Chain A
Amino acid sequence: MTDLITIDGSTYDVPIVDLSVSSEPLDKFAKRTVSGKLYREMIGVFDKYEVTFGISNANPTDYAALVSKLREATPYHTVTLPTETGTVTASYYFGPIRHTLYRAKGSNKYYKGLKVSIIPREPTRTP
């Protein structure tokens, strides 16, 4: 699975259980005249990704490395993400990251539900 996402040149052996994409337009302005006609100046469309990773059991080392990468105090990352026709590589930043410790046995800790929003720095498409 994990070849689907590359972050700063690295892939991680952590399964992806859900990946959704929302395409959100951003306007400089959008207003209507009395007749109802809309005028807008579009800045562009931003493809935002929501990714949920699988549990950490299979490869705890890669899981920890992935969490560490997602938590890095770096403003932007170069990320390659899947599209309908191939992949897209661009500068992204990460939204809030969360996961849940669901089991601890001895020194081993098991996590699930790792979620992150991957938001493009610039519009994915411009007019």
Chain B
Amino acid sequence: MASYVKLVITLADDSVVTYAENDIVSADLVEETNPVSATLPISTMSATIHDVNDQFAVFGDSGLEERLPVMIYEVIDGLEYFIGKHYLDNWEIEESNNLLKIESVDIIGVLASTDFDGRFYEDFTPFETILKAVLGTLEVDYSIPTSLRSVTLKGWIAPETCREALQQLCFASGAMVITSRSEGLMFKVAPLPHSQKYHELDIGLNDKFVDQPLSKLPLVTDIELVAHDYVKSGETETIFEDTLPVGVHKIVFQNPYFDVVTSGQGYVPEYLITHGGDHIVTHEGDQIEVGGEFTYGPNWVILNIMEAGQVTVTGTKWVDNQRPYVFRETGVGSTTKRNQLSVQGATLVSVDNAQRVLSRLRDYSRQRYKYTFTLVPKTEYRYGDAEYGDAYYGWSAVYVDIGQMISAETVRGKKVRAVIERAETNLAGGYLKRIVATGVEREA
């Protein structure tokens, strides 16, 4: 097997810089996912490049900037595999050694540095509609399976980052998000080996190298999930009150409100016009103002202040009625060490979906086997005679991906059915991929 990594950076002027083979000293990729979206991990890549042509200079405009797309490929025995689309996050130029060090993140890393203004959903709203609101003006490709398209949610997403907002959406709807082998976001129904008895891939004992620790995670004894149901309050409260200077100001609400009213400066004025659309002016040439409107968004108001002055924004609050849903693991004795998982801030979890979300958390917490191993990059055969006759089929680690449900044979002859949650790949060192998968013991 012969392998090398290829990185393609698209610069701001749309020109492309490609590094491959001997240009790249090292390149390490860490991909992660969480099946129940209890976290929304950022996948990262760090590479050291021997930049013999001094493509980028330290002084002046280096041509590099944050969020430039970095396409990652691995070439194995002459075949090019797309690994993922990243975005430049950090870089360092070591002129004395002609070294360029770059760090990149996946689209979730970009979402982590993008603000989301918050949004309240009074009525049940489809997954994709909420997703589009979270992504806002970012042009992000995504794929959603049919079963997730039919999921509807209601509730509140507070102003935070787009990553946190996306996590609220995924956690409440049972979606896992993958960014590997994709140019955007790939949503999947949360794979849970405890309750779903299937696997996509068999990994035999000799498909892995010797160092393969299998550990058992601590028992989760209790899970508390707080559901949030919002009801209209009868009291109006002041959301914002201040004297603002001239300029454009965006006031984002930190809580959900309805019947929002703004008074004072900041509306966009309307002027008296003729039927033909011409402005009617006074003898002095001034336009005649006949009122105006404030510019409201889903969770904000934009104030266009022409003269510094007082602004007051009032609204009626949606009151958050919280109700805890609790799961206690069976067979937990009085001497068992308590290990409680508590989820308080999942504000798209309501009484309508809380039990389903709690069941997912229960199943996930029951997946206590954590299996860590390094895959053989490529072997000569895979399934053997039984399934494919005398034919030989190549096995390549390039097809093993985070989020996949696997059945892996352990050293002691047992098997675990598990989800790959993390993959650390040495892209420049022979495509060695270290897997971390969590799951359950697979029945024979």
Binding site for B on A (CB under 8 A): 28-29, 31-35, 37, 39, 41, 127
- Asked whether any CB of chain A lies closer than 8 Å to the CB of B2, the reply is yes
A37 with B206, Cβ < 8 A, contacts A28-B429, A29-B430, A31-B374 known: yes
**Please, which residues of chain A bring their CB within 8 A of the CB of B432?**
29, 31
Look across to chain A and name the residue whose beta carbon is closest to the beta carbon of B428.
A28
User: Are the C-beta atoms of A33 and B209 separated by less than 8 Å?
Assistant: yes
Are A35 and B205 neighbours in the complex by a CB distance under 8 Å? yes
CB contact under 8 A between A33 and B430, given known A39-B377, A41-B2, A127-B2: no
Interfacial chain A residues near B3, Cβ < 8 Å: 28, 41
Evaluate contact between B206 and A34: CB separation under 8 angstroms: yes
Q: Which residues of B contact A32 (CB under 8 A)?
A: 209-210
**In-complex Cβ contact of B411 among A29, A31, A34 (8 A):** A34
Q: Which residues of B contact A34 (CB under 8 A)?
A: 205-206, 208, 210, 212, 411
Nearest chain A CB to B425 CB, angstrom units: 12
B1 CB-CB contact with A under 8 Å: yes
B430 and A41 contacting across the interface, CB-CB below 8 Å: yes
With contacts A41-B1, A41-B2, A41-B3 taken as known, whether A33 is within 8 angstroms of B429 at the C-beta atoms is no
Contact residues, B1-31 vs A (CB, 8 A) = 1-3
**Which of A28, A29, A32, A127 counts the most B-chain CB atoms under 10 A from its CB?**
A28
Give how many B residues have a beta carbon under 8 Å from the other chain's beta carbons: 19
A39 CA / B377 CA spacing, docked (Å): 9
Contacts of A37 in B (CB 8 A): 206
In the complex, 8 of the A-B residue pairs with CB atoms within 8 angstroms, ordered by the A residue number, are: A28-B430, A29-B432, A33-B205, A33-B206, A33-B210, A34-B206, A39-B376, A41-B2
How many contacting A-B pairs (Cβ < 8 A)?
A: 39
Most buried by A among B3, B210, B212, B430: B430
Binding site for A on B (CB under 8 A): 1-3, 205-210, 212, 374, 376-377, 379, 411, 426, 429-430, 432
Of chain A, the residue at the smallest CB distance from B76 is: A41
Q: Which residue of B lies closest to A39 (CB)?
A: B376
Chain A residues with Cβ below 8 Å from B212 are 34
Return chain B residues, CB-CB under 8 Å to A28.
3, 429-430
Q: A56–B2 Cα gap in the complex (Å)?
A: 47
Chain A residues whose CB sits within 8 angstroms of the CB of B377 once the complex forms:
39, 41
Contact of A33 among B1, B2, B208 (CB under 8 A): B208
A37 to B374, CA, bound (A): 14
Which chain B residues border A29 with CB–CB below 8 Å? 426, 429-430, 432
Q: How long is the Cα–Cα vector from A106 to B353 in the complex, in angstroms?
A: 100
Closest chain A residue to B22, Cβ basis: A122
Contact between chains at A31 and B210 (CB < 8 Å): yes
Q: Which residue of A lies closest to B409 (CB)?
A: A34
Closest 8 CB pairs of A and B: A28-B430, A41-B430, A29-B430, A33-B206, A31-B209, A35-B206, A28-B429, A39-B376
Q: How far is the CA of A28 from the CA of B376 in the complex (A)?
A: 13
- Nearest-neighbour CB distance to chain A for B396, whole angstroms, equals 12
| Chain A positions within 8 Å of B2 at CB level | 41, 127
CA distance A37 to B210 in the complex (A): 10
The smallest C-beta distance from A41 to any residue of chain B, in angstroms, reads: 4
A127 to B78, CA, bound (A): 14
Q: Determine the chain A residues whose CB is within 8 A of the CB of B376 once the complex forms.
A: 33, 39
Chain A: which residue is nearest B204 at the CB level?
A33
Instruction: Collect the chain B residues with CB atoms within 8 Å of residue A41's CB.
Output: 1-3, 377, 430
Question: Within the assembled complex, what's the spacing in Å between the Cα atoms of A62 and B377?
Answer: 53
Please name all residues of chain B whose beta carbon is closer than 8 Å to the beta carbon of A35 when the two chains form the complex. Answer: 205-206
Look across to chain B and name the residue whose beta carbon is closest to the beta carbon of A30: B430
Cα-based distance from A109 to B350 in the complex (angstroms): 94
Give the shortest distance, in Å, between B443 (CB) and chain A (any CB): 23
Q: How many angstroms between the C-alpha atoms of A33 and B203 in the bound complex?
A: 13
Closest to A36 in B: B210
Bound form: Cα–Cα A37–B411 in Å: 15
**How distant is B430 from chain A, measured CB to nearest CB, in Å?**
4
- A34, B210: Cα distance in complex, Å: 5
Q: What is the minimal beta-carbon distance from A106 to any residue of chain B, in angstroms?
A: 46
Give CA–CA (A35, B1) in the complex, Å: 20
A65 to B3, CA, bound (A): 44
- Alpha-carbon gap, A74 to B92, bound state (A): 28
